[in-house]
């Protein structure tokens, strides 16, 4: 009930945020000489819209399409001009795309890094050009970054683990032993380790006591990571695990997957290759449409939902403050309609701790899927599956 109320509250905030975005004052005007050349005059006598560069990793993972659209819509509605690129999960291309945005005269850069370690030189160029950088969702290592806007990534893993603890009632497991396998994310993405550590730390007492047993023995992040967060990589690895450790009828109880793209592959492997007749708990993260369908069908058990429209809204406010010459801090949280905390301790990117605004993730399973419909970001389709509006 508490969780339900918290999510409802967050939903109300989302609607308030939409209203807030629309009312935002135009940011301080850029000097005319620096304005982008072919700027269409949006309104008579209006200042030239400031150009904002948004660099997303790839269209091949569902959520970045949503993030890119929400960011573009919200920044444009607030009077900015937007240059939005997707770099095909190719770090070299992302550096080129960002270099082009710098050359195009963007005033602020919003970047979701493909490889958190690969942007140092390009972002040194951005700094030399006086462009501030907001790391969006993923921390960028060894580069001057003004702010980090994300969710509480460690808590994402905690929620996945807590779901398993509750579903199997591990606290009262007695002598029972449950078999679990882990699937983590892309080692090039700083988030991946936060998710994994949140889950493993939370399950540690049960792993230590033997109530949870990793039959494959693969408990290290490097062993369970999934390059590029790819569904196919997760599928292939999990097929190997099932063939090597579960073909003899050993029961698999839990497949703890860090996100939905990996859960999709793992669920596919279980459907096609698992010899047992139980339905293992499969965790995820994001609320991707295919995974929500799997939750309805009982092929995936839960997902951790992160309202990325809110993440875009918080990013807009932070960018507006920066462009107005202000320094966002804890008091900026009052300007977000969504629930976000200001953190100046957790995210050190090698050049110091990056001040961070962190939103709240939620656990979703088949029993509270309707909460996603209430966000307005999903609709119930005619066949009982959630669809994008």
Residues 6+ apart with CB under 8 A from 11: 371, 374, 375
- Least CB distance to ligand BGC at residue 229 (A): 4
Which helix (H) or strand (E) segment holds residue 379: the answer is strand 379-380
- Taking a C-beta distance cutoff of 8 angstroms, is the pair 357, 318 a contact? yes
Residues 6+ apart with CB under 8 A from 297: none
DSSP 235-250: HHHHHHHIIIIITTSP
Buried b (16+ CB within 10 A) or exposed e, 65-91: ebbbbbbbebbeebbbbbbbbbbebeb
Dihedral over alpha carbons 203, 180, 63, 125 (to 10 degrees): 60
Q: Is 316 helix (H, G, I), strand (E, B) or coil?
A: helix
- Least CB distance to ligand BGC at residue 32 (A): 38
d(CA 23, CA 21): 5
Q: Is 299 helix (H, G, I), strand (E, B) or coil?
A: coil
- Least CB distance to ligand BGC at residue 357 (A): 15
Q: Select 95 or 153, whichever has its Cβ closest to ligand BGC.
A: 153
Q: Select 50 or 112, whichever has its Cβ closest to ligand BGC.
A: 112
- Least CB distance to ligand BGC at residue 118 (A): 15
Dihedral over alpha carbons 14, 17, 18, 20 (to 10 degrees): 160
**CA geometry: angle 270, 212, 242, nearest 5 deg:** 25
Enumerate binding residues for ligand BGC (CB under 6 A).
61, 63, 137-138, 185, 189, 191, 229, 259, 261, 285-286
- Least CB distance to ligand BGC at residue 334 (A): 25
- Least CB distance to ligand BGC at residue 11 (A): 19
Q: Which residues pair with 255 in a beta bridge?
A: 181, 282
With CA atoms as reference, report the closest residue to 67 among 55, 51, 49, 76.
Answer: 55
**C-alpha distances out from residue 15 to 216, 304, 379, Å:** 46, 21, 16
- Least CB distance to ligand BGC at residue 170 (A): 26
Identify the residue whose tokens are 């994402």.
Answer: 156
Q: Select 50 or 268, whichever has its Cβ closest to ligand BGC.
A: 268
Q: Select 94 or 285, whichever has its Cβ closest to ligand BGC.
A: 285
- Least CB distance to ligand BGC at residue 137 (A): 5
Q: Select 89 or 179, whichever has its Cβ closest to ligand BGC.
A: 89
Residue nearest to ligand BGC (CB): 259
Q: Select 97 or 137, whichever has its Cβ closest to ligand BGC.
A: 137
- Least CB distance to ligand BGC at residue 340 (A): 15
Q: Select 67 or 83, whichever has its Cβ closest to ligand BGC.
A: 67
Q: Select 136 or 274, whichever has its Cβ closest to ligand BGC.
A: 136
């Amino acid at each position: 009930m508490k969780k339900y109320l918290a999510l409802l509250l967050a939903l109300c905030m989302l609607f308030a945020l939409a209203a807030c975005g629309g009312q935002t004052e135009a940011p301080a005007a850029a000097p005319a000489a620096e304005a982008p050349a072919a700027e269409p005059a949006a309104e008579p006598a209006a200042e030239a819209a400031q150009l904002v560069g948004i660099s997303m990793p790839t269209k091949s993972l569902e959520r970045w399409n949503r993030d890119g659209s929400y960011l573009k819509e919200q920044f444009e509605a607030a009077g900015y001009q937007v240059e939005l690129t997707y770099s095909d999960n190719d770090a070299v291309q992302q550096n080129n795309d960002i270099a082009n945005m710098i050359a195009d005269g963007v005033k602020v850069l919003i970047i979701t890094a493909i490889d958190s370690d690969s942007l140092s030189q390009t972002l040194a160029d951005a700094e030399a050009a006086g462009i501030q950088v907001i790391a969006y969702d993923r921390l960028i290592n060894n580069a001057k970054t003004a702010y980090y806007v994300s969710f509480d990534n460690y808590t994402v893993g905690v929620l996945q683990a807590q779901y398993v603890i509750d579903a199997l009632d591990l606290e009262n497991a007695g002598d029972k032993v449950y078999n679990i396998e882990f699937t983590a994310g892309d080692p090039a993405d700083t988030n991946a380790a936060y998710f994994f550590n949140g889950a493993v730390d939370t399950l540690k007492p049960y792993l230590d006591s033997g109530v949870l047993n990793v039959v494959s023995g693969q408990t290290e992040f490097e062993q369970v990571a999934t390059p590029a967060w790819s569904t196919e990589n997760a599928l292939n690895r999990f097929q190997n695990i099932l063939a090597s450790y579960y073909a003899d009828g050993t029961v698999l109880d839990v497949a703890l997957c860090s996100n939905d793209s990996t859960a999709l592959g793992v669920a596919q492997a279980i459907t096609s290759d698992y010899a047992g007749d139980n339905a293992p708990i499969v965790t995820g993260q994001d609320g991707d449409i295919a995974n929500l369908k799997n939750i309805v069908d009982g092929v995936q058990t839960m997902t951790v939902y992160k309202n990325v429209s809110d993440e875009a809204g918080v990013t807009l406010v932070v960018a507006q403050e920066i462009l107005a010459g202000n320094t966002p801090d804890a008091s900026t949280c009052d300007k977000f309609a969504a629930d976000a905390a200001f953190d100046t301790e957790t995210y050190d990117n090698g050049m110091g701790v990056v001040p961070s605004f962190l939103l709240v993730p939620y656990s979703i399973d088949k029993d509270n899927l309707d909460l996603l419909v209430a966000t307005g970001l999903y609709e119930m389709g005619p066949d009982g599956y959630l669809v994008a509006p």
